[in-house]
Structure 1
Amino acid sequence: MLKQKFFLAVLTLAMTGAVVANAQEAKPDSTKTAGAQELKEDERIYARALRYNDVTVAKNALFRLIEKYPQDLRYIEALASLYYEYEQYSSSALVALDLLKIDDDNIAALEIAAVSLENIGAIERSVSYYESLYLLTNDLFTLYKAAYLQYGLKRFTEADNSIKMLLSARKIDEVKLNFPKKDNTQQEVPLRAAVLNLKGLMALEQNNKAEALVQFNEALKILPDFELAQENIKTANAK
Structure 2
Amino acid sequence: MKSKLTLLLCLMIGMANMSFAQEANAPAPQLDTETIRKRNEVDQRIYQAAMRYNDLTVARVKLYELMERNPSNTRYPELLASLYFDAGQYTSAAVSAMDLLEMNDKSVTALEIAAYSLEQLGAMDRALPNFERHYLLTGNLFSLYKTAYMQYSLDKSEEALNSVNMLIKNNKSSEEKVGFPMANNETQEVSLKAAGLNLKAMIYMGLQNKEEAMEAINQALEIQADFELAKETKAEVNKM
**Counterpart in the other structure of 1:21:** none
Q: Which moved more, 1:169-178 or 1:83-92?
A: 169-178
The verdict on how the C-alpha distance between 1:128 and 1:164 changes in structure 2, with shifts beyond 3 A counting, is same
* 1:40 to partner: Cα distance: 1.4
Instruction: Give the distance between the partners of 2:165 and 2:219, measured in 1 at CA.
Output: 15
Q: Which stretches of structure 1, 4 residues or more, deviate above 3 A after TM superposition?
A: 26-29
Instruction: Give the distance between the partners of 1:64 and 1:97, measured in 2 at CA.
Output: 19
- Over alpha carbons, which structure has the higher Rg? 2
* 1:76 to partner: Cα distance: 0.5
**Partner SS, residue 87 of structure 1:** coil
* 1:71 to partner: Cα distance: 1.4
Instruction: Give the distance between the partners of 1:166 and 1:205, measured in 2 at CA.
Output: 19
**Counterpart in the other structure of 2:198:** 197
**Counterpart in the other structure of 2:60:** 59
* 1:154 to partner: Cα distance: 0.8
**Counterpart in the other structure of 1:93:** 94
The alignment's TM-score, normalised by the length of structure 1, stands at: 0.84
The verdict on how the C-alpha distance between 1:28 and 1:46 changes in structure 2, with shifts beyond 3 A counting, is closer
Is 1:208 the counterpart of 2:213 in the alignment? no
* 1:234 to partner: Cα distance: 1.8
| Structure showing greater relative contact order (alpha-carbon pairs closer than 8 Å, 6 or more residues apart) | 1
Is 1:84 the counterpart of 2:85 in the alignment? yes
Instruction: Give the distance between the partners of 1:104 and 1:158, measured in 2 at CA.
Output: 23
**Counterpart in the other structure of 1:144:** 145
1:157-209 per-residue CA deviation (whole Å, 9 max, x = no partner) reads: 11111112112213222211111111110111011110110000001111122
* 1:44 to partner: Cα distance: 1.1
Percent identity of paired positions between Structure 1 and Structure 2: 46
Instruction: Give the distance between the partners of 1:144 and 1:99, measured in 2 at CA.
Output: 25
**Counterpart in the other structure of 1:27:** 31
**Partner SS, residue 37 of structure 2:** helix
Instruction: Give the distance between the partners of 2:192 and 2:122, measured in 1 at CA.
Output: 24
1:108-152 per-residue CA deviation (whole Å, 9 max, x = no partner) reads: 111111111111011011111111111111111110110010011
Instruction: Give the distance between the partners of 1:184 and 1:170, measured in 2 at CA.
Output: 30
Code of the residue aligned with 2:176 in structure 1: it is V
The alignment's TM-score, normalised by the length of structure 2, stands at: 0.84
* 1:37 to partner: Cα distance: 2.6
RMSD over aligned Cα atoms: 1.4
**Partner SS, residue 161 of structure 1:** helix
Greater fraction of residues in helix: 2
**Partner SS, residue 54 of structure 2:** coil
Aligned length: 211
Instruction: Give the distance between the partners of 2:37 and 2:160, measured in 1 at CA.
Output: 51
